[in-house]
Amino acid sequence: MTVTVATLGFPRIGPRRELKFALEKFWAGTMTRMELEKTAADLRRANWARQDELGADWLPSNDFSLYDHVLDTSVMLGAIPARYGGERMDPADLETYFAMARGAAGTGDCCGNAPANVTAGEMTKWFDTNYHFIVPEIESGCTLRLGHFKPLEEYREARAQGFETRPVLLGPITWLSLAKGRGVDPFDLLDDVLGHYATLLRLFAQAGAAWVQIDEPILATDLSERQRRAFTRAYAKLAGAGPKLMLTTYFGGLGDNLGLTASLPVAGLHIDLVRAPDQLGAVVESVPEDRLLSLGVVDGRNVWRTDIASLIDRLAPLAAERDLVLAPSCSLLHVPVDLALETRLDEEVRQWLAFAVQKIEELDLLKRVLNHGREVVPEELEVAEKALASRHLSARIHDPAVGVRVAGLTPAMRERGASYVERARVQADVLALPAFPTTTIGSFPQTREVRKARAEYKRGAMDEAAYGAFLRAETERAIRWQEEVGLDLLVHGEFERNDMVQYFGEKLAGFAFTVSGWVQSYGSRCVRPPILYGDVSRSAPMTVDWWRYAQDLTDKPVKGMLTGPVTILNWSFVRDDQPRDETCRQIALAIRDEVLDLEGAGCKAIQIDEAALREGLPLRRRDWQSYLDWAVDCFRLAAAGVGNGTQIHTHMCYSEFNDILPSIGKMDADVISIETARSQMELLEAFAQYRYPGAIGPGVYDIHSARVPDEDEMVALMRLAQTHLRPEQLWVNPDCGLKTRAWKEVKPAIASMVGAARKLRSKAQVGA
Ligand SMILES: CN1c2c(nc(N)[nH]c2=O)NC[C@@H]1CNc1ccc(C(=O)N[C@@H](CCC(=O)N[C@@H](CCC(=O)N[C@@H](CCC(=O)O)C(=O)O)C(=O)O)C(=O)O)cc1
Ligand SMILES: N[C@@H](CCS)C(=O)O
Ligand SMILES: [Zn+2]
């Protein structure tokens, strides 16, 4: 029996974010399409070579994407909405592709070379990760066609370089499940979609591919009867169409979908044994013996070293009986590329970690032991075991004071002093804001100058005094401009922050941070999640000085700006040696201290961003409530210490939370700002139905697009909002922070937004 190693996908941004820089140059017009494609091809070549060298036997192709693999699939199938030119468009056209991803501010009509002035496709979270995909849009009457053969091209490209790969396709049922139908149920197009997949698979067989990896992570979620029937129909059709299929599931166990999955006539099945270690026995029993099993035993979602010794004990009996493929639990897209690039990591913490490259090394080690016995790699095994033991025994992960504080928590600490209605009355007097108050979500453009100054400061080329003076000047400029443009509740601009989570991670005890640990968030945007390895505490105020500095510059109120405990947890690589809720309570206490210090300094409105609360929702509904209960409790613990006159704001971006509104209500925030611009205020209907009591700022400006919306567009969106909510509930704001935008976009957009609010106010008065 033989054990082999597969990777299901490798980070596509490159070890030094080469793709990010190339894309941004291309968009800025300083790089040609050929140069961009060369960078992309170089990255693919390097990734194949690297994985091959590291010992992977099954290399993926088509795991690369210029922006997003879900968008690639939509374009491949010709699901191009009419606003980008629809069926008239060539799916291989890069202008159209990027217009769908980012919107376009062009003047063309989409049929010529210049793109039209169009909004981007809706963007949302990929399952429970911090990766965002472009939601497939299927319009009524649209005819799908196989128009772009990128998967085939990349397979051939690898082959020409001597790499035999297993191409990766996003499975048809997951694609359809993630799609939004406009006047049509996406599943009505099932047979068309299957026809195109079958054609593609035949082409793969002709090109020489023996296997195709077909990703169906939707199998780790609750499925409707329609989805289940679609699976049966789909794989009956696709299994015989060409190459063998490795049906790949991840982000959780198969649970009640196991019977269905086992019945599908595919040649191989990949399962996630990190999120669902206990499913192995049931899978082995249910799945026919001739099926090749691929076991996701190394965590593709976290950065800790694998417990190799336990895995050997667990897998050896099975490996003696049947061929096995060992793999990361999911694509390595969600972890940084290479630990070797970390020049500043503390040595003790470093030995506890494995990034994408090291994870393939771990798999290779496991493979060698299972194929040839422990004797062939004794030193490597000893190093792995020592490193693991060092983490478990380290004094650095425990802080008794934190344990005492968490043990002393009381329910009263999670309660505000009065109901929302009473608080709103007091806050109206304290803040004295107009109707339809305007504000922004916190960050202003992180311009090249801001990033450059920080990079120089970090390198030691700028001293602390000069860097501080630079940041103060930026902040002052932002305050002056906000006064001029007429915003009501101001922000300091977050210029001092590299990232809203990383910034706090760097200030709190219990976190380590990387220099090159980038992970793609969307398109060219990356994040460097902090590594939460030990008990969390705050030793000194983290944001008060910046707030005070900004507030001293103006008579208008300035919001205090914090990242909430659940978001810090969900956007960090979190320790796996204690339950997440326990870790979250530690963070909540640290944020609570900060909230109280801000209030003590005189801050009247404090925003605690919980942008990631929704994405942390377990994929299975039966697990939701317990997550929501502790997540909401942690938010309340962070927020509820303040007096009734202090207005607590929260913000959530890219959230689909119709189905969790009772929990959003229980957070008991005074004001919540949410994404809605790309989805035409769809979400507000649910808020209205639920009779959400508090104030809401539905985003009227899609900040992820370079396109500048005009005043009338924003007035129209707010009018839509008013069909769902009472005017006194409504705030006017963008749908997220403005850090990714340029001032030349922000200034006119916010001026229009303030103009829109004024129009609404005057109309409201006329109406009265
Ligand atoms: C709100 N969002 C966030 C998510 N997750 C987070 N952890 N943070 C978020 O804000 N998830 C959901 C959304 C996703 N949205 C975004 C939006 C924007 C970005 C983004 O802009 N990322 C930046 C990197 C940010 C950062 O950490 N910057 C550092 C380092 C800057 C840098 O690259 N420096 C260069 C030198 C620069 C120079 O000399 O000019 C270097 O080090 O080489 C900083 O500012 O200090 C990005 O560039 O992608 C991400 C998610
Ligand atoms: N305050 C943050 C929230 C982003 S989700 C910002 O404005 O960037
Ligand atoms: Zn946001």
Residues annotated in a binding site for 5-methyltetrahydropteroyltri-L-glutamate: 17-20, 125, 130, 525-526, 571, 615
- Mean pLDDT of the 732-761 span: 96
- Give me the number of domains the chain comprises: 3
Q: Which of 111-115, 250-254, 427-431, 725-729 has the lowest mean pLDDT?
A: 111-115
Query: Ligand 1 atom closest to Cα of 448?
Result: 40
Please tell me if the CB atom of residue 736 comes closer than 6 angstroms to any atom of ligand 2.
Answer: yes
DSSP letter for 274, please.
Answer: T
pLDDT of residue 52: 98
In the reported structure, the alpha carbon of residue 120 is separated from the centroid of ligand 3 by a whole-number distance in angstroms of 17
pLDDT of residue 767: 47
**Do 471 and 613 sit in the same domain of this protein?**
yes
- The strand pair at 560-563 and 573-574 is best described as unpaired
- Please say which residue of 201, 228, 248 terminates a domain: 248
Alpha helices in 723-742 (DSSP H): none
User: Which residue owns the Cα nearest ligand 2 atom 5?
Assistant: 611
Cβ contacts of 130 within 8 Å, gap of 6 or more: 334, 519, 521, 527, 529, 570, 571, 612, 615
Q: Which of the listed residues 102, 474, 499, 561 should we mutate to test ligand 1's pocket, taking the one with most ligand atoms within 8 A of CB?
A: 499
**Do 751 and 638 sit in the same domain of this protein?**
yes
Q: pLDDT tens, 155-166?
A: 999 999 999 999
CA distance 596 to 575: 27
In the reported structure, the alpha carbon of residue 228 is separated from the centroid of ligand 1 by a whole-number distance in angstroms of 40
Q: pLDDT tens, 405-444?
A: 999 999 999 999 999 999 999 999 999 999 999 999 999 9
Residue 298 placed within a domain: yes
- Mean pLDDT of the 324-330 span: 98
Residue 765 confidence (pLDDT) above 80: no
Which helix or strand (DSSP H or E) is residue 244 part of? strand 244-248
- Mean pLDDT of the 641-646 span: 98
**Do 50 and 76 sit in the same domain of this protein?**
no
- Please say which residue of 372, 393, 414 terminates a domain: 393
Residue 656 confidence (pLDDT) above 80: no
Residue given tokens 């801000």 in the structure block: 598
> What's the residue count for the chain?
768
In the reported structure, the alpha carbon of residue 634 is separated from the centroid of ligand 1 by a whole-number distance in angstroms of 26
Q: pLDDT tens, 192-215?
A: 999 999 999 999 999 999 999 999
Residues annotated in a binding site: 17-20, 125, 130, 441-443, 494, 525-526, 571, 609, 615, 651, 653, 675, 736
User: What does the buried/exposed string (b/e) look like for 258-277 if buried means 16 or more CB atoms within 10 Å of the residue's CB?
Assistant: bebbbebebbbbbbbbbbbe
Q: Which of the listed residues 521, 531, 574 should we mutate to test ligand 1's pocket, taking the one with most ligand atoms within 8 A of CB?
A: 521
Beta strands in 14-94 (DSSP E): 59-61
Residue 268 placed within a domain: no
In the reported structure, the alpha carbon of residue 526 is separated from the centroid of ligand 1 by a whole-number distance in angstroms of 6
Q: Which residues form the domain of 539? A: 423-767
pLDDT of residue 658: 82
Residue 107 placed within a domain: no
Please tell me if the CB atom of residue 561 comes closer than 6 angstroms to any atom of ligand 2.
Answer: yes
CB 67 within 8 A of CB 101: yes
pLDDT of residue 112: 40
Cβ contacts of 527 within 8 Å, gap of 6 or more: 130, 499, 501, 502, 518, 519, 521, 571
CA distance 129 to 331: 12
Please tell me if the CB atom of residue 177 comes closer than 6 angstroms to any atom of ligand 2.
Answer: no
Query: Ligand 1 atom closest to Cα of 130?
Result: 11
Residue 278 placed within a domain: no
Q: Which of 25-39, 171-185, 616-630, 677-691 has the lowest mean pLDDT?
A: 677-691
Residue given tokens 């190459």 in the structure block: 243
Residues annotated in a binding site for L-methionine: 441-443, 494, 609
Which residues make beta-bridge pairs with 567? none
**Do 713 and 596 sit in the same domain of this protein?**
yes
**Do 198 and 307 sit in the same domain of this protein?**
no
Q: pLDDT grade, residue 114 (50/70/90)?
A: very low
Q: Which of the listed residues 609, 675, 735 should we mutate to test ligand 2's pocket, taking the one with most ligand atoms within 8 A of CB?
A: 609
Please tell me if the CB atom of residue 652 comes closer than 6 angstroms to any atom of ligand 2.
Answer: no
Q: Which of the listed residues 495, 736, 750 should we mutate to test ligand 2's pocket, taking the one with most ligand atoms within 8 A of CB?
A: 736
Please tell me if the CB atom of residue 749 comes closer than 6 angstroms to any atom of ligand 2.
Answer: no
Of 132, 334, 704, 724, which is the active-site residue?
704
Beta strands in 577-670 (DSSP E): 605-609, 647-652
CA distance 92 to 115: 14
Please tell me if the CB atom of residue 564 comes closer than 6 angstroms to any atom of ligand 2.
Answer: no
**Do 527 and 668 sit in the same domain of this protein?**
yes
- CATH at 435: 3.20.20.210
CA dihedral defined by 671, 740, 488, 545, rounded to 10 degrees?
A: 90
Residue 531 placed within a domain: yes
pLDDT of residue 109: 45
Residues annotated in a binding site for Zn(2+): 651, 653, 675, 736
Q: pLDDT grade, residue 678 (50/70/90)?
A: low
User: Which residue owns the Cα nearest ligand 1 atom 38?
Assistant: 452
Using alpha carbons, select from 252, 260, 198 the residue that is nearest to residue 230.
Answer: 260
Q: pLDDT grade, residue 113 (50/70/90)?
A: very low
pLDDT of residue 106: 65
In the reported structure, the alpha carbon of residue 282 is separated from the centroid of ligand 2 by a whole-number distance in angstroms of 44
**Do 476 and 516 sit in the same domain of this protein?**
yes
Q: What is the mean pLDDT of the chain?
A: 94
**Do 598 and 660 sit in the same domain of this protein?**
yes
Angle between helices 150-160 and 69-76 (to 10 degrees): 110
Q: pLDDT tens, 121-163?
A: 988 899 999 999 999 999 998 899 998 899 999 999 999 999 9
Please tell me if the CB atom of residue 258 comes closer than 6 angstroms to any atom of ligand 2.
Answer: no
**Do 290 and 235 sit in the same domain of this protein?**
no
User: Which residue owns the Cα nearest ligand 1 atom 42?
Assistant: 455
pLDDT of residue 111: 39
**Do 52 and 68 sit in the same domain of this protein?**
no
Measured from CB, residues less than 6 Å from any atom of ligand 1 are 20, 130, 446, 448, 451-452, 454-455, 498-502, 521, 525-528, 571, 611, 653, 736, 739-740
Which numbered ligand comes closest to the C-alpha of 609?
2
CA distance 750 to 699: 12
- Please say which residue of 378, 393, 408 terminates a domain: 393
**Do 41 and 86 sit in the same domain of this protein?**
no
732 phi/psi in degrees, rounded to 5: -120, 120
Active site residue 704: yes
In the reported structure, the alpha carbon of residue 614 is separated from the centroid of ligand 1 by a whole-number distance in angstroms of 21
Query: Ligand 2 atom closest to Cα of 443?
Result: 7
- Mean pLDDT of the 277-302 span: 97
Residue 654 confidence (pLDDT) above 70: no
DSSP letter for 489, please.
Answer: B
In the reported structure, the alpha carbon of residue 703 is separated from the centroid of ligand 3 by a whole-number distance in angstroms of 9
pTM of this prediction?
A: 0.94
CA distance 80 to 90: 9
Q: pLDDT grade, residue 702 (50/70/90)?
A: confident
Which helix or strand (DSSP H or E) is residue 521 part of? strand 519-522
CB 735 within 8 A of CB 675: yes
In 10 A of CB 49, how many CB atoms?
A: 14
Query: Ligand 1 atom closest to Cα of 736?
Result: 1
Q: pLDDT tens, 41-60?
A: 999 999 999 999 999 999 99
Percent of the chain past pLDDT 90, that is, above it, reads 89
pLDDT of residue 148: 84
Which numbered ligand comes closest to the C-alpha of 675?
3
Is 180 in a helix, a strand, or coil?
strand
User: Which residue owns the Cα nearest ligand 2 atom 6?
Assistant: 737
Residue 768 confidence (pLDDT) above 50: no
Residue 670 placed within a domain: yes
534 phi/psi in degrees, rounded to 5: -145, -175
**Do 711 and 565 sit in the same domain of this protein?**
yes
Residue 267 placed within a domain: no
Is 675 in a helix, a strand, or coil?
coil
Residue 240 placed within a domain: yes
Q: pLDDT grade, residue 756 (50/70/90)?
A: very high
Residue 115 confidence (pLDDT) above 80: no
Which helix or strand (DSSP H or E) is residue 508 part of? strand 508-512
